[in-house]
Amino acid sequence: MITNEKQYRSARAAIERFGAEMADLRNAHDGVHPALRRAQIAGLESQVAELEDQVQEYEHLQSGAVTTFEAEGLVDLPDLLIRARIARGMSQRDLGTFVGVAEQQIQRYEAERYRSASLERLAEIAAALDITVKESAQLRTAPPTETGPESAWSFPVTEMFKRGYFEDFSGSAAQARKEAAHLIPDFFRHAAYDWTQTALHRRSVRAHGNVQLAALAAWEARVSILAERRAPQVAFRKEVISHEWLDYLVRLSARDDGPKAAVEHLRASGVVLVVEPHLPGTLLDGAALHTTSNIFVVAMTLRHDRLDNFWFTLLHEVAHLRLHVAQGPYRAIFDAIESPGNSPIEDEADNFAQEALIPAAQWRRCVSRFTQTDRAVRADAAKLGIHPAIVAGRIRREANDYTLLANLVGSGQVRPQLT
């Protein structure tokens, strides 16, 4: 079974290599007996078929389409846990962070199929993956409605502790895990967070795989707390997001302090921008939401600390505020920008952001979209009055080649301004 991206890439490379070897064998004229050649080809075909099955399973799990994992008995539990992790879109590092152990420990557990793991650890892993195990395992599609000792394991308590989510708690990480059944409800009460089924219907998630919803709820609650502390002086009205307002926002990108200036532009219009790294199991870029006290928020994780990603994500979330949150029906929308949209509201926000950053009529006149050179990108950006990273990012997305123009996308230039 393929358990991580490194193994996945190796398997894909091996398939290509074996394919080339088979082609060479079929075309060779070196005097080798045909029966021996057929045996060599058959051996390679068998290896390719096995690898293709493993790759297909890994890709199917990652797609988010799988939520149920059948097991014949406890002997199948280790593979079930591995498959559930992949289906959650969680890396081995994410799971380690979630339960408070090193990534290497998760790798060892999975390599030996959890033979050295205690029953308590297995239960903790299952809770972190938020699965219910009966005759089969089912990914839960809503956060726990109660927070007793068992359901508290569904939250990344150690990571929440490290980030200071439990502000009135002065104990250690180990003590936080022991007291999670009390700390988690107190945290959500502080955030005035509503995770009832009614509230969940007013949330939309665009993400890789099946998001760990308890972790997502904790992240949203933390964002809400931070937003309340930075409440703007004016109330947000969706009408303020006009063509002129957007044009001014985009042109701020040309400044060296563009992201910082964007925060102030939003704040002056009644929108708080909060930066909070994603929690393990969520893998988000940003979100648009409004709190229970009606504060409108753009939240960003800076998962990719690049200017091109910052500006596209920002405009995407502004679109959600204007089109889908301020006038309903959603209270919160969460986004992993690189994952497929697969919904009208995501297509609408993608198109809104793209048009606001570089209108289609102007993009058609950009030489850089064809030449893809540094000089052309800088020249087009100067004509448009925007940062070259925005042009470079557009070219990379349309070409689906993220190795292009890597020196122009502003790597490492966002976080120092906003954190």
> Are 178 and 207 members of one domain?
no
- Based on the domain organization, do 181 and 208 belong to the same domain? no
Statement to judge: residues 317 and 398 lie in one domain: yes
CB 166 within 8 A of CB 160: yes
Least Cα distance to 206 among 295, 324, 306, 305 occurs for 324
Ranges of residues in the chain with a pLDDT under 50 are 148-150
> For the chain, what is the mean pLDDT?
89
How many structural domains compose the chain? 3
pLDDT tens for each residue of 2-14: 999 999 999 999 9
**Are residues 305 and 334 both part of a single domain?**
yes
349 within some domain: yes
Same domain, 168 and 264: no
* Secondary structure element (H or E) that encloses residue 109, with its range: helix 103-111
Specify if 372 maps to a domain: yes
Asked whether the beta carbons of 348 and 204 are under 8 A apart, the reply is: no
Q: Of 375, 109, 158, 416, which Cα lies nearest the Cα of 275? A: 416
Residue 87, domain member (yes or no): no
Same domain, 245 and 341: yes
Q: Which helix (H) or strand (E) holds 44?
A: helix 34-62
Residues contacting 241, CB < 8 A, separation 6+: 269, 318, 321, 322
Q: Is residue 107 part of a domain?
A: no
Last residue of a domain, one of 127, 156, 191: 191
Q: Is residue 370, in this structure, part of any structural domain at all?
A: yes
Q: Confirm if 291 and 272 have CB atoms less than 8 A apart.
A: no
Closest CA to 170 of 183, 159, 181: 183
215 and 185 assigned to the same domain: no
Q: Provide the domain limits for residue 231.
A: 198-418
Q: On the CB side of 375, how many CA atoms lie within 13 Å of its CA?
A: 1
- The SS3 assignment for 334 reads strand
Question: How high is the pLDDT of residue 200?
Answer: 58
- Print burial letters for 144-173: b (CB count within 10 Å at least 16), e (below 16): beebeeebbbbbbbbbbbeeebbeebeeee
- The pLDDT score that the predictor gives to residue 269 is 96
Which of 63-67's residues contact partners 24+ apart within 8 Å by CB, and which partners?
Answer: 63/209, 64/89, 64/207, 64/208, 64/209, 64/210, 67/138, 67/139, 67/141, 67/210
Residue 325 CA to residue 120 CA, distance in Å, equals 42
Per-residue pLDDT at 143: 58
Q: Which amino acid belongs to residue 117?
A: A
Distance CA 317, CA 331 (A): 13
**Residue finishing a domain among 191, 226, 250:** 191
Q: Which is it for strands 271-275 and 296-300: parallel, antiparallel or unpaired?
A: parallel
Q: With respect to residue 76, please indicate whether it lies within any of the assigned structural domains.
A: no
pLDDT for res 150: 44
Task: Identify whether residues 383 and 248 lie together within a single domain.
Answer: yes
pLDDT digits (tens, 9 = 90+) for 90-129: 999 999 999 999 999 999 999 999 989 988 899 889 889 9
| 8 Å CB contact between 333 and 325 | yes
Same domain, residue pair 152 and 56: no
* Phi, psi angles (nearest 5°) of residue 272: -95, 130
- For residue 157, being part of any structural domain is answered with yes
Q: Is the residue at 281 inside a domain?
A: yes
The reported pLDDT for the residue numbered 84 is 92
343 and 274 in a single domain? The answer is yes
Q: Which two tokens stand for residue 281?
A: 């199991």
Same domain, 284 and 225: yes
241 lies in the same domain as 169: no
Q: What pLDDT is recorded for position 281?
A: 87
